[in-house]
């Protein structure tokens, strides 16, 4: 079956789409723990800053 002008184009498209989706999932998972770690690290200093500015 011929799609997109050639015999192997559909298989090539599907294999590239599979690789790109697998890469996108790993990137999204990496960004999620990194942003969670950043939020966790920023919570304590911001709490101390707000407590000191409220007490002053």
12-51 confidence digits (pLDDT tens): 889 999 999 999 999 999 999 899 999 999 999 999 999 9
Task: Say yes or no to pLDDT of 53 above 60.
Answer: yes
pLDDT at 41: 93
The tokens describing 2, both together, are 């011929």
The tokens describing 14, both together, are 């599907």
pLDDT at 17: 94
- For 4, 21, 22, 27, 50, the CA distances from 11, given in Å and listed in that order, are 11, 15, 17, 24, 57
pLDDT at 56: 62
Task: Say yes or no to pLDDT of 55 above 90.
Answer: no
pLDDT at 22: 93
C-alpha–C-alpha distance, residues 36 and 25, integer Å = 17
């Amino acid at each position: 079956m011929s799609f997109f002008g050639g015999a192997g184009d559909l298989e090539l498209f599907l294999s590239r789409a599979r690789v790109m989706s697998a890469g996108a999932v790993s990137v999204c998972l990496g960004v999620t723990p990194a942003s969670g770690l950043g939020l966790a690290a920023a919570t304590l200093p911001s709490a101390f800053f707000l407590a000191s500015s409220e007490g002053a």
